[in-house]
Structure 1
Amino acid sequence: MKTLYLDAFSGISGDMFIGALLDLGVNFEQFQTELAKLHVGDYRLRHERLAKNSIYGTNFDVEMNDEKDHGFIEPHDHHHHDVRHLSDICSLIDSSDLSAKIKKQSISVFTEIAKAEAAVHQMTLADVHFHEVGALDSIVDIVGCFIALDLLGVDDVGASALTDGSGFIRVAHGQMPVPVPAVMQMRIGTAIPIKQRTDIQTELITPTGMGLVKEIVSHFGTIPEDGVLLKTGYGFGKRDTGSFNALRALLFETKKSRQTVNTDHDEVLLIEANLDDQSGESLGFAMDQLIDAGAFDVFFTPIYMKKNRPACKLSVLCAPEERDTFVNLLLKHTSTIGVRYQVMQRSIMQRQFKKVETKFGTIRVKVARRDGVVKQTAEYDDCACAARTHGVSLAAVEQEVRRQLSDSLNQN
């Protein structure tokens, strides 16, 4: 499971988001190919990896072709473009060859912004005229955000509190206070946290950025404690803030064994292969690769094959939709030339996680429940880390966790 965490210490905009995802490794050629499905012309994408404040990141721009000047105008100079209504934008996106998911997400963001503009300017949704966000480069920005997110294969998105500036900026409607009215309107009825920096006299959160956050971010908080950090990326902003103006994106991978489970039944795929010509070391390596790829479980069973040859049966449990991934890994990392598989039904306990404070530090505990039966198990990795840090045995840490759990139960 891949989790994207947005560290919005300098706000968020569409171009910053795309820049950050390109910096994380989204293939630019693939990105262009998918964006071409929007079927709009007269624009050019530009990306450049460069250093700001000695930190490397990616600068992303959509440059529009100005027919009057027969050249390219400055990025995001929206005053050269025609205004558009929400219905125009929805029709443009709906008529594209984009996936249904990307169409839905893109239209949702535009609808959020339109609702905010309608409320701010006291008009009907149908009468809202888009200026900055309605320009073609902003349409490319918003659709591009969801294309990049899809190409990165992200399952969940979290974020820090958003940071905005202060003062005033000039837009199509005239002079606006920061945070701009549309951003504040979109915040109504949400728990989206926004911190304001009075030392920065400009906008850091754009309506596009706020609409994007409302659509994709499922939770706000500090940098995730769980999971393996795979990569860090930076997408640069265009405004001169006097500070490091970038959106930092952190890509984490979380093992399935640490995910919350809210059902008491599901389906798994069992993939098996018989192996009689592979060393124990290479089998251990194969197991590590399968676990790291997100298998629910991997195990070996001693067997005897034809001519009474000793061998082992390698079994992998995974999600049914991940069949091709694990079949390819088995073929790559073992000597087998074929595998067998079957879908199996499981009855399982619902699973959640909690943290227990001990004298050895914070330890995560897995809590499984079903029909009145409760099981609590300390996470091995946390216990092992605490044991190494404090120079005690693993059993001592596990005993301390059990004591804390028992004390908590007695108090309740």
Structure 2
Amino acid sequence: MKTLYLDAFSGASGDMFIGALLDLGVDIAQLRTELQKLPVHGYTLTADRVAKSAIYGTSFDVVLDHGEKDHGFIEHHHAHGAGDHQAHHGRHLHEIVDLITASDLSATVKRHAIAIFNDIGAAESRVHNVPLAEVHFHEVGALDSIVDIVGSCICLDLLHVDRVKCSTIADGSGFIEVAHGKMPVPVPAVAQMLSDRAIPVQQHPEVHTELLTPTGLGIIKEFVTEFGPLDAQSAVQQVGYGFGKRETGQFNALRAMILTTSQSQKQTAVGHDQVTLLETNLDDQTAEGLSFAQEQLLAAGALDVYFTPIQMKKNRPGVQLSVLVPPVDRDRFVTLMLKDTTAKGVRYTTFERTVMQRRFETVTYQGLPIRLKVATYQDIRRVTPEFEDCKVAAQKLDVSLETVMAAATALAR
């Protein structure tokens, strides 16, 4: 399973998120191509790889032709002069939604982007006590903010991860200047957005500015499915940094990591837990389609996926697709099964189970590392060498696979 982990030790914003994903390898040329499907103009994307505090990362920005940035929320009935720049560049929420809906962006990008705009819009409406239809947005209506939000959805789509996890999110303290004057940190829109979901945010009193923006929080709320620290079962494959623009007095970046987790390499310390069995019967799916579904489900983190030949109505041969998952992931895998198979429904049951405690250790056989899976339960102990490591050793040493596996097992503590 491939996970994007966001280490938000200095908060999050739209440009930091995009910068971090570009630093992980998302192609800015692809981002530009996708953004051209959105019918807006008057901006240029910049992405510079620079060093801050001797650490290299990517500084991303949306440079507007007219040179100004967004100015935050204002009410629709706010008075403007005939040439007021803000009045020209703000948009109502329905205008933004119509803009995205009418574009040639993928359905996935459209859905996520509209959800983020709706979330921020609802918070602004609540904070300022006006109907959503009477709110004139600059935080989400200005051109650079539209590009930040839609661009974030595009970048994540291009990254091809199975899930997004995030650390506790840092924010600053004190007050900042916005369109309505001085506002406390977290800014009112962020505080309101935190009210409908349990999201861990920690203020840092030594930082006297905003670290978590409404756009940054909107992105996190839309994509993150779990909050917490790095776990021992995940291997870090890549690290990227997206730099923020504010001077905070500390290293201001969003760190993004690509983690991989194999269910076969997870350590377990509990002897009893629960597992949910999802099942569906299929009689109209091709063999290629079944293989693809199995690959997708395993890549998404299923504990096991297997097929059972069955006889269905009208004497049709079929297969029963069975998927074992942690109970907390039930709904996610139901969605995957309905998406990647011809199933019209999925049944499920949760079971108690007893599992052997599992840990990993590494031994050395003729100079080559071999990982061992050690499973124990009461006085039962079972050691299994990692097949891929044994295969590599057998090929390099020109000996049989059985020789390597037996020797590695004998070396186990």
TM-score (norm 2): 0.68
Counterparts in 2 of 1:223-234, with a 5 A limit? 223-234=230-241
* Alpha carbons of structure 1 residues 385 and 84: separation in structure 2 relative to 1, 3 Å: same
Aligned partners of 1:15 and 1:61 also within 8 Å: yes
Corresponding residue for residue 154 of structure 1: 161
2:57 maps to 1:53: no
For 1:101, give the aligned amino acid. T
Structure 1 distance, partners of 2:350, 2:185, is 53
* Alpha carbons of structure 1 residues 142 and 261: separation in structure 2 relative to 1, 3 Å: farther
Deviation digits for residues 383-408 of structure 1, max 9, x if unmatched? 335999xxxx979x644x53699xxx
Aligned partners of 1:131 and 1:172 also within 8 Å: no
Cα offset, 1:189, TM superposition = 2.6
Secondary structure, in 3 states, of the residue corresponding to 1:218?
strand
Aligned partners of 2:10 and 2:254 also within 8 Å: yes
2:381 maps to 1:402: no
Cα offset, 1:31, TM superposition = 1.0
Structure 1 distance, partners of 2:350, 2:184, is 55
Aligned partners of 1:61 and 1:75 also within 8 Å: no
Secondary structure, in 3 states, of the residue corresponding to 1:263?
strand
Cα offset, 1:140, TM superposition = 0.5
Secondary structure, in 3 states, of the residue corresponding to 2:26?
coil
2:383 maps to 1:383: no
Corresponding residue for residue 224 of structure 2: 217
Structure 1 distance, partners of 2:350, 2:14, is 47
* Alpha carbons of structure 1 residues 348 and 29: separation in structure 2 relative to 1, 3 Å: closer
Cα offset, 1:128, TM superposition = 1.3
For 1:263, give the aligned amino acid. L
Aligned partners of 1:38 and 1:93 also within 8 Å: yes
* Alpha carbons of structure 1 residues 117 and 228: separation in structure 2 relative to 1, 3 Å: same
Aligned partners of 1:269 and 1:344 also within 8 Å: no
Structure 2 distance, partners of 1:205, 1:123, is 24
Aligned residues: 314
Deviation digits for residues 282-315 of structure 1, max 9, x if unmatched? xxxxxxxxxxxxxxxxxxxxxxxxxxxxxxxxxx
For 1:253, give the aligned amino acid. T
Structure 1 distance, partners of 2:151, 2:139, is 16
Cα offset, 1:164, TM superposition = 0.5
Deviation digits for residues 186-240 of structure 1, max 9, x if unmatched? 0003110110011111100001011111111111110132232110000000000
* Alpha carbons of structure 1 residues 371 and 174: separation in structure 2 relative to 1, 3 Å: closer
Corresponding residue for residue 6 of structure 2: 6
Aligned partners of 1:163 and 1:195 also within 8 Å: yes
* Alpha carbons of structure 1 residues 371 and 125: separation in structure 2 relative to 1, 3 Å: closer
For 1:25, give the aligned amino acid. G
Structure 2 distance, partners of 1:88, 1:24, is 33
Q: Identify which of 130, 140, 161 aligns with 1:133.
A: 140
Give 5+ residue unaligned stretches, structure 2. 73-84, 267-273, 300-317, 329-347, 366-370, 382-413
Instruction: Give the CA RMSD over aligned residues.
Output: 3.5
Deviation digits for residues 98-155 of structure 1, max 9, x if unmatched? 1111111111111111111111111111111112221011000000000000000011
Counterparts in 2 of 1:364-375, with a 5 A limit? 374-375=353-354
Structure 1 distance, partners of 2:163, 2:258, is 10
Corresponding residue for residue 77 of structure 2: none
Counterparts in 2 of 1:263-302, with a 5 A limit? 263-265=277-279
Secondary structure, in 3 states, of the residue corresponding to 1:131?
coil
Structure 2 distance, partners of 1:75, 1:190, is 29
Counterparts in 2 of 1:158-307, with a 5 A limit? 158-255=165-262, 257=264, 262-265=276-279
Counterparts in 2 of 1:346-365, with a 5 A limit? 346-347=321-322, 349=324
Aligned partners of 1:269 and 1:318 also within 8 Å: no
Corresponding residue for residue 319 of structure 1: 293
Corresponding residue for residue 43 of structure 1: 43
Aligned partners of 2:276 and 2:350 also within 8 Å: no
Structure 1 distance, partners of 2:292, 2:107, is 27
Corresponding residue for residue 90 of structure 2: 83
Structure 1 distance, partners of 2:22, 2:92, is 30
* Alpha carbons of structure 1 residues 221 and 385: separation in structure 2 relative to 1, 3 Å: farther
TM-score (norm 1): 0.68
Give 5+ residue unaligned stretches, structure 1. 67-72, 272-315, 326-342, 354-368, 406-412
